[in-house]
Amino acid sequence: MNNRFPEGFLWGAAASGPQLEGAGSKYGKGKTVWDYWFKTEPEKFYQQIGPETTSNFYEQYKEDIESMKEIGFNSFRTSISWARLLPDGKTINPEAVSFYRDVFSRLRNNGVKPITNLYHFDMPYRLHLKGGWENRDTVEEFAHYAKVAFETFGDLVDTWVTFNEPIVPVEMGYLNDKHLPAVYDMGRATQAAYFTLLAHVKAVRAFRESEQTGGIGIILNLTPSYPKSDQEEDREAAKWADIFFNRSFLDPVVLGKYPEEITEFLERESISVLYTEEEIALIKENTVDFLGVNYYQPRRVQRGDKKAGVGLDKYFQSYQWLEARINPHRGWEIYEKGLYDIALNIRDNYRNIPWYVAENGIGVEGEEAFLDEFGEVQDDYRITFMEDHLRWLLKGIGEGSNCYGYHVWTFLDNWSWLNEYKNRYGLLRLDLETQARRKKKSAYWFKQVAETNQLPQSGE
């Protein structure tokens, strides 16, 4: 099997402003929903660690960027904080401009291509008070924010992302209690999802109108849905899971239209969505240049419960595949072939759009148990996880899928929403008391792969 990746393949990691930067209330930054939630209900956070300091990238980014270069990165994706750049929605924060411009400049000077995301779950609190993604005004505010970002940083950044995993705030905020507003309401969820898509589309239009070089895309967490059996009801369940959690964003951003089944779903559930025909035309006209794909686990589904009153259980239910290998720390199934299946799906059904793996990684609790006598984490499990996924990715590329990069989640152990530092994902270990960084064994493995642009032969 060919172990080499295509010429110019992107190697690096993904991160986000709210999970990495810190300086949560400093340097002119406005308040986000996470700042508010931690202040009012810190008991909901696993370790009672808030978003104020996180991984201190704001203060240590110069050294961190040097470390990225040292371990072979040629690219790095992070996000701008909307609340930092435009604290009141109108006035540009000069301290934010100075910080981000220096970050992007240093990345470029070190041979690391910046890929810059506009939104990673960090809704400005002032907009949350007005309804967040349920409010059409938020769409216009986001379009303005995007325009400001393109104008302010476009000379340093040519690859932009509108949203990371837009389905997650919808699922976790309106069908769960893991994000604010923490309610269960299918109608509100649907409206929030539509306005999120519309915000994405208007940002794409703003990018095109800015006449900047480069491209703009979106990052979706794609979870292939596998039916429990070949029986019709199980296959129907997998179809609906795919529509809700993959195609609801994937189809409109790449193909310019919603799946027909979405209309059927809205009629069945008596859900009305505020939209205009002009907006539907806008969706059709502003598809993405590329796609980022986050892949961690598959979705195993079986027939729905037709007696279920509200929610998605009537369409599908999850089940535990008996042959599954589970990461016990996160509870997620490890299924490397899912990345290959995604590659072929994009090739066959989404015009073989250029795409890259925007996140892939494994979180482990208690990594200090794997410290050797020299203080280095011997994370062979992370190396195995990456290598196994990359071998399936290579197979997909070899069969014609247009994948051009692989980013691990993440560069440095970072803050993970309500779980904070319970599970560690980084190639570098973070000491929470001193904020010191230390490369793990996986960082050296990643460096070898990135610099040779190939996987080691078996046994190396």
Q: Which of 141, 359, 367, 420 is catalytic?
A: 359
How would you class 341 by CB atoms within 10 Å of its CB: exposed for 0-12, middle for 13-18, buried for 19 or more?
middle
What residue ranges do the domains of the chain occupy? 10-452
Is 269 in the active site? no
Give the rounded distance of the alpha carbon of 157 from its chain centre: 19
CATH of 10-452, picked from 3.40.50.1820, 3.20.20.80, 2.60.40.10, 3.30.70.270, is 3.20.20.80
Q: How far apart are CA 196 and CA 375, in angstroms?
A: 44
Q: Which of 313, 405, 418 is nearest to 355 (CA)?
A: 405
Q: What's the chain's average pLDDT?
A: 95
pLDDT in tens, 417-449: 999 999 999 999 999 999 999 999 999 999 999
pLDDT of 71 over the 70 cut: yes
- Residue 455 tokens read as 């996987």
Q: Which of 165, 336, 367, 420 is catalytic?
A: 165
Residue 6 is classified by DSSP as: P
Tokens 């703003």 sit at which residue? 206
Q: Which residues, 6 or more positions from 234, have their beta carbon under 8 angstroms from its beta carbon?
A: 227, 228, 301, 302, 303
pLDDT of 1 over the 80 cut: no
* Residue ranges with strand state E in 2-54: 10-14
Is 376 in the active site? no
pLDDT in tens, 103-155: 999 999 999 999 999 999 999 999 999 999 999 999 999 999 999 999 999 99
pLDDT of 308 over the 90 cut: no
pLDDT in tens, 35-59: 999 999 999 999 999 999 999 999 9
Q: Please list the alpha-helical segments (H only) found in 175-231.
A: 186-209
